[in-house]
C-alpha cells in the first residue's frame, strides 16, 4: 500500500508516495491533459519522456512545465502515425510503460472527417501497441472517454454499461479499447488500463498551464472563460428543455488535476496487476450548464451573459459516472470540486488571455 505523503505545492491534492520506479513514455504530452499529468508526475519524481507532434499544442507548454516543476522535461517531437520514428524512440530510450493521450478529440469534426480520426486515433494507437510489443513494453494507460457508452441505458454509467458510441470519435476510442482487451487476452503479461474520462475542466492552480483550444471553443468551460475575458460576447446555452434540474444539459465535470492524478494511480495499479481494465474517471455527480455558469460567477465575481439556443445535434440530456471502480481498484476519487474547477479555469485564462501565445 502507498503511504500518505505531503501536499505538493500548488496542486491542492493529497497525494500518496509513488512506490514504483518506471521509465514512462508520455504520448500527447504537451496537450491539455497530458501537460497536467506531466507536471504532477515530474513533481512525484517519475522518470518521463514526453512525446508530441505539436499538432494541437504549443512548444511553450514545455517552458510552463519547467517553470512549475523546476525540471527540464525530456521531449521528442514525433508523430505516432510514423511507425519508424516511434520505433526509434523505443530503440534509443528506456521505456517501461506508456501513457497515451495522443489523438484527436472533437466529436463534430470526427463526423465530418471520420477517416482522419480513424487514421490518427486507431492507426496511431495500433502503431504504438506494435512498437511496444516489439520492444517488450507491456504496460499502458490509455485516454478513453465516456463517449464510448452512447445513449445512457441507465445513470450513472458503470463500466458494464453497453458500449454503443454514436459518433466516429467515440468509435475510435472503443476500437482502441477492444485492441487492448484482445492483446491482454493473447498474452497474460500485458497490463493495460483504459481510463474513461468524463468532462475534464479547470487548470493547474498556478495559472501557468491550462486548456488552450484553437479558434472558437466547442466545449463549455473554455467558452465560458473566453466570454469572461471579453473575447466572446455571450455564451449560447444549447437547450433549456431537457428533463434535468433546470432544463440544461448535465455532465460530470472533473478537475484536470484530479484526472492527472488518476493516471499516476493507474500506473501504480498496473505495476502490480496484469490484464485489461476499463475504468471511469469522473466525480460521480453531475452539474447543469447553468449550475456551472453560476458557480463561475459566484467564485470569480465575473458575470457571464448567456442566451438560450436550440439543442445541439447529438447532445445527450444528462450523464455522470459511477466512479466506484476507480476507488476500489486504484484507491482514487476526486478531491477537488466545482469551486476549484471554475477558480482554476479562470486563473489560467485571466493570466493568459491568449493562451500560450
Ligand atoms: P489535446 O488535443 O489538448 O492533447 C492531445 C495531444 O496529442 C496534443 O498535444 C496533440 O498535438 C497530440 N497529438 C495528436 N495526434 C498526435 C499524433 N499523431 N502524434 C503525436 N501527438 C499527437 O487533447 P486533451 O484534451 O489533452 O485530450 C487528451 C486525450 O484524452 C485525447 O486522446 C482525448 O481524446 C482524450 N479525452 C479528452 C477529453 C476532453 O474533454 N479533453 C475527454 C475524454 C477523453
Ligand atoms: N454547452 C453549451 N454551450 C456551449 C458548449 C456546450 O450549452 O457553447 C453544453 C452542452 O450542450 C452540454 C454541456 O454544455 O450539455 C457540455 O458540453 P461540452 O461540449 O463541454 O462536453 P460534452 O458535450 O462532450 O459532454
**Could you state, in order of their start, the residue ranges of all structural domains in the chain?**
23-200+254-282
Pair 163, 149: CB distance under 8 Å: yes
Ligand 1: centre distance to CA 28 (Å)? 6
Ligand 1 touching residue 143 (CB < 6 A) = yes
Q: How confident is the model at residue 6 (pLDDT cuts 50, 70, 90)?
A: very low
CA distances from 5 to 86, 258, 335 (A): 36, 16, 15
Q: Would you state the pLDDT for residue 94?
A: 98
31 Cβ inside 6 Å of ligand 1: yes
Average pLDDT estimate for 171-192: 98
Average pLDDT of the residues in 20-44: 96
User: Would you call 157 a catalytic residue per the annotation?
Assistant: no
Q: Which of 104, 117, 169, 276 is catalytic?
A: 169
Quick check: CB of 197 below 6 Å from ligand 2?
Answer: no
CA atoms in the 13 A half-sphere facing the CB of 345: 35
Strands 4-7, 14-16: pairing kind: antiparallel
pLDDT in tens, 130-158: 999 999 999 999 999 999 999 999 999 99
Q: How confident is the model at residue 10 (pLDDT cuts 50, 70, 90)?
A: low
DSSP secondary structure string for all residues of 338-353? HHHHHHHHHHHHHH-T
> What stretches of 155-252 adopt beta strand conformation (E)?
191-197, 199-201, 235-238, 250-251
What is the number of the ligand 1 atom nearest to the C-alpha of 120?
18
For a substitution probing ligand 1, which of 27, 28, 145 has the most ligand atoms within 8 Å of its CB?
A: 28
Tens-digit pLDDT profile for residues 53-112: 999 999 999 999 999 999 999 999 999 999 999 999 999 999 999 999 999 999 999 999
Work out the mean pLDDT of the chain and round it to a whole number. 95
Whole-angstrom distance, CA of residue 256 vs CA of residue 202: 6
**Does pTM surpass 0.85?**
yes
Quote the CA–CA distance of 101 and 322 in Å, as a whole number: 22
Is residue 32 within 6 Å of ligand 1 at its C-beta? yes
pLDDT in tens, 211-247: 999 999 999 999 999 999 999 999 999 999 999 999 9
Q: Which ligand is nearest to the CA of 320?
A: 2
277 within ligand 1 shell (Cβ under 6 A): no
| Topology (CATH) of 23-200+254-282 | Rossmann fold (3.40.50)
Ligand nearest to the CA of 125: 1
Look up cell 468551460; give the residue. Answer: 221
For atom 28 of ligand 1, which residue has the closest CA? 101
Within 10 A of 140 (CB to CB), how many other CB atoms are there? 26
Summarize the confidence of residues 166-181 as an average pLDDT: 97
φ/ψ of 24, rounded to 5, equals -115, 125
Amino acid at each position: 500500500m502507498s503511504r500518505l505523503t505531503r501536499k505538493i505545492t500548488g496542486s491542492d491534492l493529497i497525494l500518496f508516495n509513488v512506490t514504483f520506479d518506471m521509465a514512462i513514455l508520455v504520448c500527447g504530452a504537451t496537450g491539455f491533459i497530458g501537460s497536467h499529468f506531466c507536471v504532477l508526475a515530474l513533481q512525484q519524481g517519475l522518470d518521463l519522456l514526453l512525446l508530441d507532434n505539436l499538432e494541437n499544442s504549443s512548444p511553450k507548454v514545455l517552458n510552463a512545465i519547467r517553470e512549475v516543476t523546476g525540471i527540464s522535461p525530456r521531449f521528442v517531437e514525433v508523430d505516432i502515425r510514423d511507425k519508424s520514428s516511434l520505433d526509434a524512440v523505443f530503440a534509443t530510450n528506456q521505456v517501461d510503460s506508456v501513457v497515451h493521450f495522443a489523438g484527436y478529440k472533437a466529436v463534430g469534426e470526427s463526423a465530418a472527417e471520420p477517416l482522419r480520426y480513424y487514421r490518427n486515433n486507431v492507426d496511431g494507437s495500433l502503431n504504438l501497441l506494435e512498437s511496444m510489443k516489439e520492444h517488450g513494453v507491456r504496460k499502458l494507460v490509455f485516454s478513453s472517454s465516456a463517449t464510448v457508452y452512447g445513449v445512457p441505458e441507465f445513470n450513472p454509467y458503470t463500466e458494464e454499461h453497453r458500449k454503443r458510441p454514436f459518433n466516429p470519435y467515440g468509435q475510435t476510442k472503443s476500437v482502441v479499447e477492444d485492441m487492448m482487451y484482445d492483446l491482454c487476452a493473447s498474452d497474460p503479461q500485458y497490463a493495460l488500463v483504459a481510463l474513461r474520462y468524463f468532462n475534464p475542466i479547470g487548470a493547474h492552480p498556478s495559472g501557468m498551464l491550462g486548456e488552450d483550444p484553437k479558434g472558437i471553443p466547442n466545449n463549455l468551460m473554455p467558452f465560458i472563460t473566453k466570454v469572461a475575458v471579453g473575447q466572446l460576447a455571450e455564451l449560447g446555452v444549447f437547450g433549456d428543455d431537457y428533463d434535468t434540474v433546470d432544463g440544461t444539459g448535465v455532465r460530470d465535470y472533473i478537475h484536470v488535476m484530479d484526472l492527472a492524478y488518476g493516471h499516476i494511480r493507474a500506473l501504480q495499479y498496473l505495476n502490480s496487476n496484469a490484464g485489461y481494465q476499463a475504468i471511469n474517471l469522473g466525480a460521480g455527480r453531475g452539474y447543469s450548464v447553468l449550475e456551472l455558469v453560476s458557480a463561475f460567477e459566484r467564485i470569480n465575481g465575473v458575470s457571464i451573459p448567456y442566451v438560450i439556443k436550440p439543442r445541439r445535434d447529438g447532445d445527450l440530456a444528462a450523464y455522470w459516472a459511477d466512479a466506484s471502480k476507480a476507488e476500489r481498484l486504484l484507491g482514487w476519487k476526486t478531491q477537488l470540486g466545482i469551486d476549484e474547477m471554475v477558480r482554476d479555469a479562470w486563473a489560467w485564462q485571466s493570466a493568459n488571455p491568449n493562451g500560450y501565445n
